[in-house]
């Protein structure tokens, strides 16, 4: 385990223009401790500090579905994710900028990371055309033609005023052929350089993260990581995982790529994942995560707990007076019976989705806080084993 230290920034790029790696601003990353490959750190932004490992609740359309910002913050979240593509279409980035920016618009005074819209290149594959210049979408709202280039993606994120912007990339569904993986990886590298040039006009204090692509091909991933780190960014993401490949493939890629990324920059695994995914990825050196699972599953009757997931739709909960977790610090997990939650879910009552989303986000944040404490104490291996034991035990009894 290493003691807290401020790490020396990377050397500026050889080019004369201002670059993300050399500009003085409000963004910084400080590595506080390590335990094996697991890392405990802090990201400083203009809207507060983000403790890492960190989980970002998904606020795609300037809202974490079902919860007020105060409830999201109360769960322990330091940062949320919003989406460039969706906010560009509705209500519009220019409108949000005119209203004071995304922080004011959604009443979230903490840090915001914006996804560039690259995931929609995959998820809306029937509605888009990918070319070297960028992506042309047919809007899922009204069918209008919308163009998203690396430059436009950065412009939109600047208008939103997010603290961390992501480059535009192409994310492929796996499995995919080597030729397709290489093509998408090279296109993403070209878009990263264009994103970086466009980001030179960003307000000081903002950060730009690059995205390592290459699918399940370790060689392509390492090539992508090398080019991006040579170029210099505030942070580095691993994209294009948890998109159809088995967990062991995802972990193999993380294990190969994380050590190839600069130790003095945050490492962000995009779109992941289950509680087990988070623990295993932290064990391999990842600092940041986002995923729809805790909010989406909460809306569909599933609670995440230290005893694994619980499907409240199941009839066995109809007469169960126990709470989800009687020792939880989260009131929703501690003060409502499983029978009542089952009733709310079956009756399709809004409160059921709200309570279960609250339970899930609190559990995810408790998991991240537990990992941070364990890394600081040098007991991460014990924490990892205890978490696995709890999930394997299941929710049959909490006594």
* 325 neighbors 305 (Cβ within 8 angstroms): yes
Calculate the CA 118 to chain-centre distance. 13
Q: Are 167 and 119 in contact (CB under 8 A)?
A: no
Token pair recorded at residue 135: 């992506």
Q: Which two tokens stand for residue 165?
A: 């912007």
Residues 6+ apart with CB under 8 A from 273: 242, 250, 281, 289, 291, 293
Spot the catalytic one: 115, 216, 325, 395: 115
Nearest-angstrom CA–CA distance, 293 and 304:
9
The SS3 assignment for 217 reads: coil
* 387 CA to centre of own chain: 21
**Ranges assigned E (strand) in the chain:** 28-35, 38-45, 48-52, 54-56, 79-83, 111-115, 128-131, 134-138, 145-148, 164-166, 207-212, 235-238, 267-269, 288-290, 302-305, 308-311
Q: What are phi and psi of 205, to 5 degrees?
A: 105, -20
β-bridge partners, 303: 310
Active site residue: 216, 290, 325, 395, which one? 290
Which pair of tokens denotes residue 82?
């919003």
- Active-site residue 290, yes or no? yes
Per the annotation, the verdict on 216 as an active-site residue is no
Return the bridge partners of 185, or none. Answer: none
Cα(36)–Cα(381) distance, integer angstroms: 9
* DSSP result, 326-343: TT-S-HHHHHSBHHHHHH
What gap in Å lies between CA 194 and CA 106, rounded to an integer? 29
Residues annotated catalytic, as ranges: 115, 290
């Amino acid at each position: 385990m290493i003691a807290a230290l401020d790490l020396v920034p990377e050397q500026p790029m050889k080019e004369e223009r201002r670059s993300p790696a050399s500009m003085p601003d409000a963004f910084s990353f400080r590595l506080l401790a390590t335990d094996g490959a697991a890392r405990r750190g802090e990201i400083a932004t203009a809207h507060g500090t983000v403790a890492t490992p960190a989980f970002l609740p998904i606020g795609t359309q300037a809202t974490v579905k079902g919860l007020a910002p105060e409830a999201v913050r109360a769960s322990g979240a330091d940062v949320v994710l919003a989406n460039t593509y969706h906010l560009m279409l509705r209500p519009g980035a220019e409108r949000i900028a005119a209203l004071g920016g995304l922080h004011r618009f959604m009443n979230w005074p903490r840090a915001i990371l914006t996804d560039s819209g690259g995931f929609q290149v995959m998820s809306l594959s029937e509605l888009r055309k990918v070319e070297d210049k960028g992506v042309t979408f047919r809007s899922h709202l009204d069918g209008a033609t919308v163009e998203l280039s690396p430059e436009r993606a950065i412009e939109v994120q600047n208008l939103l005023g997010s603290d961390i912007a992501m480059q535009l990339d192409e994310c492929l569904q796996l499995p995919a052929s080597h030729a397709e993986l290489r093509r998408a990886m090279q296109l993403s590298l070209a878009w990263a350089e264009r994103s970086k040039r466009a980001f030179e006009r960003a307000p000081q204090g903002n950060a730009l993260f690059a995205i390592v692509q290459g699918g399940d091909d370790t060689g392509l991933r390492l090539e992508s990581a090398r080019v991006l780190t040579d170029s210099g960014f505030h942070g580095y993401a691993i994209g294009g995982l948890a998109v159809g490949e088995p967990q062991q493939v995802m972990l193999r890629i993380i294990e190969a790529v994380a050590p190839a990324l600069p130790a003095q920059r945050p490492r962000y695994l995009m779109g992941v994942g289950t509680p087990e995914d988070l623990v295993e990825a932290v064990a391999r050196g990842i600092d940041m995560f986002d995923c729809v699972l805790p909010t989406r599953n909460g809306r569909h009757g599933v609670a995440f707990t230290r005893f694994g997931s619980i499907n409240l739709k199941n009839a066995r909960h109809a007469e169960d007076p126990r709470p989800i977790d009687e020792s939880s610090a989260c009131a929703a997990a501690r003060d409502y019976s499983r029978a009542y939650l089952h009733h709310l879910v079956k009756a399709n009552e809004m409160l059921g989705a709200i309570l279960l989303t609250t339970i899930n986000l609190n559990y995810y944040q408790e998991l991240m806080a537990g990992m941070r404490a364990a890394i600081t104490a040098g007991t991460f291996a014990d924490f990892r084993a205890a978490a696995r034991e709890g999930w394997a035990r299941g929710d049959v009894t909490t006594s």
